[in-house]
Chain A
Amino acid sequence: MGLVVGSNPLSMDAVAALLVERFGADLEDVRIQEPDTVVARCAGERLKDVAARLKADADAGYETLNWIAGVDRRTSFEAVYHVYSWKTNTYLELHVELPRARPEVDSVTGVWPAADWHEREAWDMVGIVFSGHPDLRRILLKDDFVGHPLRKDYVDLAENHPHV
């Protein structure tokens, strides 16, 4: 039969409890967002390790990465990872806070191959550097674009519009 959705259906409380029990050291502020998402925070240095362990978890393996969003929080940056667990049919939203001066975090392409383009987009739009990414270059904007548009302090530069 292969891949099945929800082979280990747990209630949201059970999932949250499982995460606290196994990842309590690294995941802070685990809370449930109805109907099927657990939201948690994680430190940037621990991300790669946590990601690998989340994926490999036997009861709730978070095997699929849905998306990665880069957010500019004015005083810091944040990378949001939204991952899906086939076994429990629930989502986990990981918020990783990064310092404003050097927004750098390990790339998770080794854990979730889908992260490739999502991280490129986060770099392109917000300027978060994913170290260890095989090919971190701009994806949606032109190659020699200057600046990162989704930052709150982004100002449109003339050199981005040479033809105007």
Chain B
Amino acid sequence: MVDIIVGILRAILFVVIAYAVVFVAALVNILFERRALAFMQDRLGPNRTGWQGVLQSIADAFKMMGKEDFRPMLADPVLFTLAPVTVMIGAVAIQLVLPYTNGLMAIDLNVGVIFLVAITSFTTLSILMGGWASRNKYSLVGALRAAAQMISYEIPMILGLLIVAMIVGSLRVEAVVAFQAGYEWIVFYAPFTFLIFYIASIAELNRGPFDLPESESELVSGYGTEYSGMRFGMFFLNEYAGMTIMSMVAVTLFFGGWMGPFAGAIEFWGVDWIGIVWFLVKTYALVFALVWIRLSLPRLQVDQLMAFAWKVLIPLGLVNILVTAAVILWVPSWKWGLAVVGWVSFLAFVALLDPLLKRRLRKQRERQPVVSA
């Protein structure tokens, strides 16, 4: 009996914490991005509301909540309301299997790693709902495009995760974190895998150079056209929360989760409090990288985006799996073997991708006709 009550209380506590994390992360990220973007663009960001502008996001949230709440007459009533409500489910539910620190993990599913990717797909569903319910041809096209992008890039993500599972030998997230004890972070063994996973996750989030669905060339807007006020706010917050959540996933799988120097120093209520600090530090390093990448690269167009997923990332991911499997099976000291293979492929990819692209572009340029009268 007591177990049931404790179980229910734990569940409620989890839901509260998970939603709190999502909202706080979204608000923090919005401000963080605006300040970081401003810093890189040689200007200040919002720095007047509250100390250094920390209350800016909250002010924006209040503003959004104060807007008129309307629904286009012809829009599907149920789906139109449901789409913004369900969009955050992915971000919240992922936290079921993420260990914030030693002892602070909701549930240690024995298919945790697969669950991570599976639940991310939920956002795709919400975006499709939003685009369809708007009864707007262009919103639907935008939503379909976003969905196509998201499902295309889930495949490289899964391919990356499979390698993590192969290295660790288990699909449980707790096992993945435990494997990385003693600074044996998986990113040191499989940097190329991390790169593939990271690029795929940027596209999954509709961030950075892959943000065509939300910018849609400033004219025909995407799935969010007909939404206004807090309805739109939910889509918006989800994107920023996703930045943190996806970075948390990457940190857990590749960067050792909550491990770090002095982890385990302060421990009470069965929870390791230094671990949370390290978890957040690593997460926000990756979030900063996301903002930096967004700023530095022009937007990819739809055909370039899809070509990159299907013609570059997926083949490389598959080859990576084959090579990793071969190394694990047949090389005696497979950890060293993996490290060598991983770093060589990582450096080769980074060094060769740009020159190869440029060479193709140069050839195209030579074939381009010179204008004449």
Contacts and interface: CB of A to CB of B under 8 A. Distances in A.
B372 interface: yes
Interface residues of B, number: 3
Interface in A1-41: 1-3
Nearest to B370: A2
B373 interface: yes
Contacts of B371: 2
Contacts of A3: 373
Interface string B359-373: 000000000000111
Contacts of A1: 372
A1 B371 CA distance: 9
Nearest to B372: A2
Contacts of B373: 2-3
Interface residues of A, number: 3
Contacts of B372: 1-2
A1 B372 CA distance: 7
Interface string B337-373: 0000000000000000000000000000000000111
- Interface class of chain A by DSSP: loop
Nearest to B371: A2
A3 B373 CA distance: 6
A123 to B, nearest CB: 31
A2 B373 CA distance: 5
Contacts of A2: 371-373
A2 B369 CA distance: 13
Interface in A64-119: none
A3 B372 CA distance: 7
A1 B373 CA distance: 9
Interface string A127-143: 00000000000000000
A2 B372 CA distance: 5
A1 B370 CA distance: 10
A58 B372 CA distance: 19
A3 B371 CA distance: 10
A54 B299 CA distance: 49
Nearest to A1: B372
A2 B371 CA distance: 8
A6 to B, nearest CB: 15
A103 B210 CA distance: 58
B259 to A, nearest CB: 67
Interface in B260-315: none
A51 to B, nearest CB: 20
A139 to B, nearest CB: 24
A121 B19 CA distance: 62
A134 to B, nearest CB: 25
A122 to B, nearest CB: 29
Nearest to A4: B373
A75 B372 CA distance: 47
B367 to A, nearest CB: 19
A89 B373 CA distance: 17
Nearest to A63: B373
B162 to A, nearest CB: 57
B123 to A, nearest CB: 47
B369 to A, nearest CB: 12
B359 to A, nearest CB: 29
A74 to B, nearest CB: 43
Nearest to A86: B373
A117 to B, nearest CB: 23
A2 B370 CA distance: 10
B368 to A, nearest CB: 16
5 smallest CB-CB distances across A and B, nearest first, come from A2-B372, A2-B373, A3-B373, A2-B371, A1-B372
Interface of B: 371-373
5 contacts: A1-B372, A2-B371, A2-B372, A2-B373, A3-B373
